[in-house]
Structure 1
Amino acid sequence: MLERELHGRQEPRLLTLPPRAGSKVDELLDLLYLIGVGVDPWQEASLDALLSVDDRDQWTCTEFGELVARQNGKGNVILPYELGHLFLWPREDGEPKLIVHTAHEFKTAREAFRRIERIIRSSPLLVAELKGGVRGGISTSHGEEGFELKDGTRLRFLARSKNSGVGFTCDVLVVDEGQQTPISAMDALLPTMSSVPNHQILFTGTVPDELDDSEYFEGVRDRGRSGSDRRSGWIEFSPDGSDDPDLAAGLDIEDRELWEQANPALGIRMKPEAIEDELNRLGRDSFLRERLSVWPNRRPDAAVRLSELNLSAWRDSATPAASVAGEQAVIAVALGRGGGFGTVAAASRFDDDQIAVEHKKTDRQTRWIAPFVRDLKAELGDALVVLDPKNAAAIINDLDKLGVKYLPMNMNEIAGAHGGFIEDVNAGLVPHRDQAEVTASLELATTRSIGNAGMTWEPSDPTKPITHAQAVTWAHWGVKKREAAPPRKPAVVRGYA
């Protein structure tokens, strides 16, 4: 008996929208027809929702998020959306409009630029609207990629960073790779839109893994799924019931109906054989995340207590005002085993009794760490850098070359840092921003003995990183060390001091 042909579900599993009077999607579809760009039914549904307007012809969603698995064609939602804002919908006050496309890495942003560049260059209709034609209206210089129309409307392509919004007043913001969106990047970009009428932000992304800085994207998801924000929208292509932690745990990843529910491009541009290959080569967690977009809601009481740290006390200490800044700050670095990734955290005195901690960045590989620490050290007023020299051996030469000095921690200090951090957290003396990735790391971290010195953090699951837990713990210790007495002269060592 022949297996039936698989077809991806074109309707989203979940769509939440504020009340709307209509949509501008037909205007966009007319433009796409004229320039020869087609969209799948699911992409049209996404654009219809995203381009919803109220009875004043204003965007109903100032924030809209889309979750869809990789290789399904989310780029063909972003591309038409940006073309529409560039060519169809000028600002009502006649001022030039600015659309900004951002990605976690510049190479991704540049690839998006190249795709839209090919479309524009191939259409005389669009070229005619460019300032000075192709030569004047398309910038291909590195870091300046973008388009400009005769009326001054622009589309720019950037990599996200804490400085990426400087100098811009942005009308429309596209956040691609939303699963890798640090709060610091959004802190730089969001103020650029505060004075702009009828602005809009589009987030597109996939389910984050343990190394992604997904705090902001998870907030977009939660606001969208719950409908708690009257200006937020959300669309999600995922298996039925997959936001329920209990149902998600029991999903059969070999069930082809789940493949269809989570992959709208299946049978269009994605073949079942490609998914079969992934099924055989990826672990269960990776397949659920990468191919099925399974992202269960958080369950506050789900964490198993693996250490003496009181997770309820940790959560209760969350406060938006706990960002680390000012003089006497401390930076800590922790590398994953094997050097495949690293985390940077910081801490500073919050008040007479409390020390605030904050996750600054986690990313794959380690070459980024030394320049990042150098820049953060300068930003925080020549902050003290602390690390475990055995853990950080892979980056010591990099720190050396950049002239970044650090204070090495010995075994007794690592154990003391561990015990002191747990004691202060349990006493409610460690305020922090509510960073989901740090909480998850503390939930997953267990402990191990380091000889007679005491205990330190240890992964409870070798596939789940605890570098966030290590880094905030060591940064917290560094503040106390700095205040207790002048620290030892920062040095470069190859082992414990």
Structure 2
Amino acid sequence: MRDTLALLGIAFDPWQRGAAQLILSKDAEGFYATTVGGVTMSIPRQVGKTFMIGWIVFALCIIFPGLTVTWSAHKKDTADEAFGGMKSMSATPRMVPHIDRTPDNGSEQKIEFKNGSRVVFGARERGFGRGFTKVDIAVFDEAQILTERAVDDMVPAQNASANALTVMIGTPPKPIDPSEIFEEARRAALAGDAPDALYIEFSADEKADPDDRKQWRKANPSYPHRTKEKAMLRMRRKLTPESFKREALGVWDELANRKTAFPTGKWEERAIENPSNDWPIAAIGIDMNPERTWVSVSLAMFSDDGIHLEVAETESFNDAGSAELVSWIKKMARRRTPVVIDGFSPARTFEPLLKEEKCMVRILGSAEFTQACMGLHDAVKEGSVSHFDQEHLNSSVAGATKKAVGKAGAWAFTRDELDVDLTQIMSVTCAHFGAVKFARKIAADAEATGGVSVC
């Protein structure tokens, strides 16, 4: 490959030469050493990883006639950008004699070689990857956003290849990214559980100063001779410190902070054992499990330091007992305290019953519910909320994770294990949002509702 690239007028930097040698290393039988476990690269932006992988792919396409390479990205814009960059590379004077054509039909782009090799580009969010009968090299760009479904669509096609190679390239994932594949590759490599895989990571120290140029050089071997200081400063200016450390310096968040509902230790820090009986109820939240057998009712109260949360009732549900529960909620809420329910929760069955009792019912749409989840997360992180130290609530929080909602960065609480009961965390989430969004902290409300502490 090195000799082929030399004929094309391409020379790699030292780190690229070392990485390429590892990526293309073979075993005694002539197969890629990573043909089973694959190649995973966690490398910051502006380093030159796409340049390196792109030219490796081109060289292999020239060396091995009839090679099929798929290059997928999560988003269409990224796939288009990769295609545009490699199309420009294919137009260099020494590459032109090898290229047949570069068709682009809008949804799928190709660089086709005269010897029958081809590189096909597409976006995974649009279903790219299905239908290939043989794939020799699969490149997963934006691998920090890579789902099992996308892998299932593409990797089986590599079984027909005589010597397959899989390359995942990405940056450390954001907290809301569906990054299980990328994270597991890193975990297995660092734990020594991936003898047939290659893992390459460039990153600054976990607690690096974002403005420390030594840390910039540690994370980015292309700085400052290829990645200029102005490029780094541009990212520094536009990104938050956390995003800059992740995107530009390759620093991974602690997995525990990323997977759980709240940053490690923050929920525990906000627990109190003796809430005041004088705190007035600000809002009530209700949630029911998908099987409609369990109901949780939580209270949000105006405390001396902000908002206090606790689960007031968690009990089995049946239609016969719903009237009694509604009566109890009415007594707690009266007409001034909002009763908040997620619009997609089975607990919405209480809506007409509560409205008959003249309760102020608030149903959250999907946008409001994601706001509620993210709002409670931020309140716990910032310390503006407390909660009663209840074992069943703590268990619900411990089992909750995050899932992305839409494509704008929103997320909501979910669960990875089916035996996790989310009703408690969902009900306190609704109660907290009700206190922030709908409640009125005035003396009249406090006198009408009264303070409640549930033990």
**Shorter-chain TM band:** 0.5 to 0.7
Question: Residue 254 and residue 154 in structure 1: after superposition, are their counterparts in 2 closer, same or farther (change >3 A)?
Answer: closer
Aligned-pair CA distance for 1:296: 5.3
Structure-1 residue corresponding to 2:39: 64
Structure-2 residue corresponding to 1:286: 243
Is the Cα–Cα contact under 8 Å of residues 32 and 165 in structure 2 kept in the other structure? yes
* Post-superposition CA distance 1:231-278 (Å, at most 9, x none): 110111123xx4xxxxx24x3333321111001121222233443454
Match for 2:52 among 77, 80, 86? 77
Structure-1 residue corresponding to 2:3: 30
Is the Cα–Cα contact under 8 Å of residues 42 and 201 in structure 2 kept in the other structure? yes
Opposite residue 205 of structure 1, the aligned amino acid is G
Counterpart Cα distance in 1 of 2:141 and 2:86: 15
Structure-2 residue corresponding to 1:144: 108
| SS at 1:233 equivalent | strand
Aligned-pair CA distance for 1:56: 1.9
Is the Cα–Cα contact under 8 Å of residues 90 and 96 in structure 2 kept in the other structure? yes
Is the Cα–Cα contact under 8 Å of residues 98 and 113 in structure 2 kept in the other structure? yes
Structure-2 residue corresponding to 1:303: 264
Counterpart Cα distance in 1 of 2:112 and 2:240: 45
Structure-2 residue corresponding to 1:179: 144
Is the Cα–Cα contact under 8 Å of residues 147 and 155 in structure 1 kept in the other structure? yes
Opposite residue 366 of structure 2, the aligned amino acid is A
TM-score, structure 2 as length reference: 0.58
Opposite residue 52 of structure 1, the aligned amino acid is S
* Post-superposition CA distance 1:3-44 (Å, at most 9, x none): xxxxxxxxxxxxxxxxxxxxxxxxx22222222233322222
Indicate yes or no: 2:171 matched with 1:206.
yes
Aligned-pair CA distance for 1:217: 0.8
Question: Residue 98 and residue 305 in structure 1: after superposition, are their counterparts in 2 closer, same or farther (change >3 A)?
Answer: same
Opposite residue 107 of structure 1, the aligned amino acid is D
For residues 97-246 of structure 1, what are the structure 2 equivalents within 5 Å? 97-123=67-93, 126-130=95-99, 133-134=100-101, 138-161=102-125, 163-168=127-132, 169-239=134-204, 242=205
Opposite residue 184 of structure 2, the aligned amino acid is G
Counterpart Cα distance in 1 of 2:233 and 2:129: 42
Aligned residues: 312
Identical-pair percentage: 27
| Runs ≥4 residues deviating over 6 A | 471-474, 476-479
- Is there any run of 5+ residues in structure 2 with no aligned partner, and where? 270-290, 292-342, 349-361, 370-390, 404-408, 424-437, 439-455
Aligned-pair CA distance for 1:70: 0.9
Counterpart Cα distance in 1 of 2:422 and 2:211: 49
Question: Residue 36 and residue 182 in structure 1: after superposition, are their counterparts in 2 closer, same or farther (change >3 A)?
Answer: same
Counterpart Cα distance in 1 of 2:91 and 2:126: 33
Is the Cα–Cα contact under 8 Å of residues 61 and 200 in structure 1 kept in the other structure? yes
Question: Residue 227 and residue 208 in structure 1: after superposition, are their counterparts in 2 closer, same or farther (change >3 A)?
Answer: same
Counterpart Cα distance in 1 of 2:57 and 2:201: 20
Counterpart Cα distance in 2 of 1:51 and 1:189: 21
* Post-superposition CA distance 1:382-423 (Å, at most 9, x none): xx966995343589xxxxxxxxxxxxxxxxxxxxxxxxxx96
* Post-superposition CA distance 1:200-223 (Å, at most 9, x none): 111111111122221111112122
Structure-2 residue corresponding to 1:254: 211
* Post-superposition CA distance 1:154-180 (Å, at most 9, x none): 210011148432211211100111111
Aligned-pair CA distance for 1:189: 1.8
Question: Residue 270 and residue 473 in structure 1: after superposition, are their counterparts in 2 closer, same or farther (change >3 A)?
Answer: same
Aligned-pair CA distance for 1:280: 5.4
Is the Cα–Cα contact under 8 Å of residues 176 and 411 in structure 2 kept in the other structure? no
Opposite residue 116 of structure 2, the aligned amino acid is G
Aligned-pair CA distance for 1:79: 1.0
Is the Cα–Cα contact under 8 Å of residues 165 and 192 in structure 1 kept in the other structure? no
Counterpart Cα distance in 2 of 1:114 and 1:162: 18
Question: Residue 274 and residue 154 in structure 1: after superposition, are their counterparts in 2 closer, same or farther (change >3 A)?
Answer: closer
Counterpart Cα distance in 2 of 1:142 and 1:60: 36
Counterpart Cα distance in 2 of 1:121 and 1:208: 33
Aligned-pair CA distance for 1:101: 0.3
| SS at 2:215 equivalent | helix
Is the Cα–Cα contact under 8 Å of residues 43 and 76 in structure 1 kept in the other structure? no
Is the Cα–Cα contact under 8 Å of residues 182 and 215 in structure 1 kept in the other structure? yes
Is the Cα–Cα contact under 8 Å of residues 172 and 199 in structure 1 kept in the other structure? yes
| SS at 2:412 equivalent | helix
Question: Residue 106 and residue 272 in structure 1: after superposition, are their counterparts in 2 closer, same or farther (change >3 A)?
Answer: same
RMSD of aligned alpha carbons: 4.4
Structure-2 residue corresponding to 1:331: none
